[in-house]
Each structure stands twice: as structure tokens, then as C-alpha cells.
Structure 1
Amino acid sequence: MSESALNYVNDRVMVGVVESIDLPLVGLSSINTRIDTGAQTSALHVDHIVVHKEDKQVSFEFHPDFHDIDKTIRCRAPIHDRRWIKSSNGERERRYVIKTQAMMSGISWDIELTLTDRSSMTHLMLLGREALSGMFIVDPGADYVASNRT
């Protein structure tokens, strides 16, 4: 879908509650992402986090398919921060934060992602308010509005 084919409301792109997002700087594409205005921060499901102190980077494994845990993609990114995050169940967890580029339907923007275990969740990635602010408006009754996936 071209950027001109996107739906706009007050200069903001209309998105559904689930969209497909790419993270090209860490080598990930077509991530089914839950759009959640109730969450402040964004999160990515990862395993086996390794901190590389010598170059202030973190490496981790991403499982692109919930149904095939043997398939993994090894990623590496600079550490942007480390923060205490309160999860949806009310527990606090100290997470590594990376800053990376997100892409959806020709739109590219920078986001912060916390790295955590989301294996009990339905979607591998959650896009929160901070990543949506000023650019997007959410249609709570639709999926794949901007990424045009069925």
C-alpha cells in the first residue's frame, strides 16, 4: 500500500488494533503488532538477552512464529536505556530499551522498544502510546487498516 492510499484523520494515519510492522535496523519484518493506547511503552518479545558491555549493545533472539519455537532470528542493537516498566499484570520489571526504526506501509519513524518475555501474550510486539503519539489514530474495531493485511 502506498502512503497516499492510507486513511488520514486530522493529518494522522488511521491504524487498526493489529498491524504488521517491520523493524529493518534489527532485521525483523512483518511482525504482527498489537496497537495499545493503554500501554505507555512499546515491547518486543525476545529470548536469550546478552549484554555486550564492550560496545554497549544487546543481542537477543526473536521467534517470528509462535508455533515454531525452534525458528529464531538473532538480533543486535545499541542499548538506549534500562528502565523499570510496570506490566499489564501490575508487576515491575527492569528491561533493556533499544531505539530503532519502525516501518509500516511506507511510513518510517523512530520508536523505543523494551525487550521482554511476551510468550503469554497473543502478539509478539506491542506498540504503545509513546510510539503512536502525534502520528496515528486508532480504529478500535478494525485490524490491519494501514498495513492492509487480511
Structure 2
Amino acid sequence: MKNKTIIGNLEYIALPKLGITELQVRVDTGAKTSSLHVDNIKKVLIDGEHCVSFDIHPDSHNVDTVKSCHAPISDIRKIKSSNGTVEQRYVIKTPVVLGQQKWSIEITLTDRSDMSYLMLFGREALGTRFLVDPSAVYLG
């Protein structure tokens, strides 16, 4: 426990390979996998590699800001959402930066437009690096 960083239930992360420098996320230890709200999801072939292209709104307060991204498809999984519905989602693997730490995580891509936060940061992404203080925000 000595080497773990304490983070809050809301944090800012960067997804450098996607060109996202600051994205507010909800840290959710109840969610196994991280999920990201994206629009216009399309499977594409780039240099012979199966990829997914999508649009993201990195600033939740300005939906006019759109960033077009693409990433190799790491997997396609059936995910059960918090309301119990099962959805098939593309999974990408990408580096993430939180505070002074950088590592790779898996993210499922989905429509989270009816949710308060663009991204859930799940327990697989947290790994053994962090402890979560649910009463705090922006500690990382």
C-alpha cells in the first residue's frame, strides 16, 4: 500500500495516442472495463490492419469540439451495462496518463450520451497502482 497513489472519484487523464490531453473521467471500481463515449464508430482497414474510427468530444462542456480518431481493434466483447443490457463493443488498447504514471489500458467504445461523464475509468485500468478515495476529486 505504500507505493500506491490515492486518486479521487473524478480525475483528469490524457490519452496521448488519441490526441487527448485532458479528459475528465469517473473512476468506477464497480466497472470492470473502462468505457469511452464516442460517435460515428466505423470498422476500417488501415494498412491492412483492422481498426475502428470514431469521433470524440474531449470537452464535455463544449460538444462542438470534435476530435476524429482511429485505433487498432484489440477485441470485440459483449459488455453488460449498469442497466443490465448487453452490448457488443469494440475494444482498443491505448496508453493513458494519470498524474505522473503512464501505462496501457483497454477501453470499450460506446454511446454514453445519456451518462454524466464521457468516460468510466474501470478497475482493470486502475490495476494495482491506485487507491480510490470516493470522497475526493482530482487528486491525481
TM-score after normalising by structure 1: 0.88
Q: Which runs of 5+ in 1 are unaligned?
A: 1-8
Distance in 2 (CA, whole Å) between partners of 1:82 and 1:19 is: 27
1:87 aligns with 2:81: yes
Q: Is the 8 A contact 2:23 2:59 kept in 1?
A: no
SS in 2 for 1:131: helix
How many residues matched?
Answer: 138
- Work out the percentage of aligned pairs sharing the same amino acid: 50
Q: How far did residue 29 of structure 1 move?
A: 1.8
Q: How far did residue 132 of structure 1 move?
A: 0.7
1:16 aligns with 2:13: no
Aligned twin of 1:48:
40
- From the two aligned structures, give the one with the greater strand fraction: 2
Q: How far did residue 76 of structure 1 move?
A: 0.7
Q: How far did residue 114 of structure 1 move?
A: 0.2
Q: How far did residue 63 of structure 1 move?
A: 0.9
Distance in 1 (CA, whole Å) between partners of 2:61 and 2:2 is: 39
Question: Residue type matched to 1:110 in 2?
Answer: S
Q: Which runs of 5+ in 2 are unaligned?
A: none
Q: In the TM superposition, what whole-angstrom CA distance separates every residue of 1:76-132 from its partner, at most 9, and x where no partner exists?
A: 100000000000111000000000000012210110000001111111111101111
Question: Residue type matched to 1:25 in 2?
Answer: K
TM-score after normalising by structure 2: 0.94
Distance in 2 (CA, whole Å) between partners of 1:56 and 1:62 is: 19
> What is the 5 A alignment of 1:1-150?
9-53=1-45, 54-146=48-140
SS in 2 for 1:145: coil
RMSD: 1.1
Distance in 1 (CA, whole Å) between partners of 2:61 and 2:13 is: 19
